Structure 1
């Protein structure tokens, strides 16, 4: 699971951006992490974001 996340992180964040400062990198990493966990739609999760899927699962 971690290897999958880091593969996506490298492909979607590192390979398409350059960062001039650690602050820029940290901000981009935080934004990516937030997007990955709360907004990203996944077919594995029936078209829901991870947060929506967890909420649905817990409500059941």
Structure 2
């Protein structure tokens, strides 16, 4: 969890200034969705989590 929150702060809060809680409520699920599906990870051999899971299931 600590690792995720570190990524969240670096990827979302350090680059965007939210002027309202509504804006934050919109951005947070979008970031979590991106983090869980689209981000490229070196620990996953340069694949996104979805690509890595699909590759593992195909084997």
What TM-score do you get using the length of structure 2 for normalisation?
A: 0.85
Q: Report the alpha carbon displacement of residue 58 of structure 1 after superposing the two structures with TM.
A: 2.1
Rounded Cα–Cα distance in structure 2 between residues aligned with 1:3 and 1:57: 26
Q: Report the alpha carbon displacement of residue 23 of structure 1 after superposing the two structures with TM.
A: 1.5
Q: Please, what is the CA RMSD of the aligned residues?
A: 1.1
In the alignment, structure 1 segments of 5+ residues that lack a partner are: none
Large movers: runs of 4+ above 6 Å: none
Alignment partner, residue 7 of structure 1: 6
Rounded Cα–Cα distance in structure 1 between residues aligned with 2:46 and 2:29: 23
